[in-house]
Structure 1
Amino acid sequence: MVKFNKYYFKVCIVGDTGVGKTTLLHQYLNKRFKSDAETTIGSNFFVKYVKLPNAKQLITLQVWDLAGQEHFKWVRSAFYKGARGIIYVYDLTQKETFYNLIKWKEEVESSIGIVPNVLVGNKLDLIESQNSIIDYEECTFLKNNLTSRYYYETSAKYGTKVDEVFSKLTQLMFKIYQE
């Protein structure tokens, strides 16, 4: 029998506006694609209870969807406080959003330091018939720069690898919690 959750982890999803942070989160929480997702103003947060095989109790994930617009930069630092994990998201069809993740890393780390994180290229469904605009070397360079050990290409539309992103980050946070 699973006891009520003792473990609580705050996670922030960051990246430029329009990369699919909200739809990624909606797919994770509801197993549905929300095609009419509105641009996040400020932030939204959601809670999900997760069971890991090696945890005796449920884990509470409080997931914060942060606005990607530059003019919200001044308020985001308050939302980073207490975060134990970060999901860096870029749009696989927009190379600029990939390179902007360096700025996101600097913003996050200036607020909370280095925490477990995963790198996510979203909108895989839009490039499946084409070649990716990001080559392997670029991706490896950014992954190393973000101190991310894990990289996923996801489709919030079809749910491709969405659960894996959150599961891996939860495992990383739980492992650090146990140490």
Structure 2
Amino acid sequence: MESATKICVVGPPGVGKTAIARLLADWDTSAGAPYVATQALRIQELDRSLGKKRFSIQLWDCSGDSEFQPCWPALQRGAHGLILVRNAEASLEEQEKQLENWYKVFATPNRLKASQCVIVNVSRSNGGVSGLPAGSGRGLLANVNQVNVSLLEPDCQQRLFLALEGILGGA
């Protein structure tokens, strides 16, 4: 196994970044657990196979709070992939601008390709998850894959693993 593959999990505060990282790392993610804001960074580790290759993965769950913005250049350094998380139930226009900013801060300095990034549209209710309209990403997000997940649906973890495999395959 090679050195750890670093994937940053980013997005605005309270959208579900930690829940996504914990699901991918196979941690218990009780839907009723109280919200605890990430203070700068949490790292979740996991091992995953893709074909015959085995990956040791570090998910860098980065705080979306602007208080920690001075830390972001250090957090993004050396990233191999990027998971952009958005609240599927919030304003699309506002979040698209935020996602583009996260992409500029975390993907651009690492020269990540669109295939090394994914947008996760998170809902905390059953069904009806909507993502950014196809082709809506003007420039930066135009070719980034998306996955729609509801934290309450049983296939949520499986859908996230497929998205993670897409990043690993693009790296």
TM-score w.r.t. the length of structure 2 is 0.82
Structure 1 gap segments, 5+ residues each: 174-179
* Residue of structure 2 in register with 1:74 after alignment: 70
CA distance in structure 2 between the partners assigned to 1:68 and 1:102 by the alignment: 14
Match of 1:157 among 136, 152, 155: 152
The amino acid across from 1:71 in the alignment is: E
| Secondary structure class of the residue paired with 2:4 | strand
1:140 and 2:130 matched? no
| Equivalent position of 2:119 in the other structure | 119
Per-residue deviation, residues 67-120 of structure 1 (Å, max 9, x unmatched) = 001121111110111111001111001123343101111222454333421111
Deviation at 1:141, TM superposition (A): 1.9
RMSD: 2.3
Structure 1 contact 117–148 (Cα < 8 Å) conserved: no
Distance 1:144 1:157, change over 3 A: farther
Identical residues among aligned pairs (%): 19
Task: Compare the two structures and name the one with the higher helix fraction.
Answer: 1
Please give the alpha-carbon distance, in whole angstroms, between the structure 1 residues aligned to 2:100 and 2:149.
Answer: 20
Q: Which runs of 5+ in 2 are unaligned?
A: none
The verdict on how the C-alpha distance between 1:119 and 1:148 changes in structure 2, with shifts beyond 3 A counting, is: farther
Aligned-residue offset at 1:59: 0.9
Q: What TM-score comes out, normalization by structure 1 length?
A: 0.79
How many residues in Structure 1 have an aligned counterpart in Structure 2? 162
Answering whether residue 88 of structure 2 is matched by residue 89 of structure 1, we say no
Structure 1 residues 43-80: Cα deviation after superposition (integer angstroms, max 9, x where no partner): 0111101111142xx21111100000112111111011
Deviation per residue, 1:102-144 (Å, 9 max, x gap): 1111222454333421111111x52625x74x662xx522285
Deviations 1:133-161 (A, max 9, x none): x662xx52228522544110012333521
CA distance in 2, matches of 1:111, 1:149: 16
TM superposition outliers: structure 1 runs of 4+ over 6 Å? none
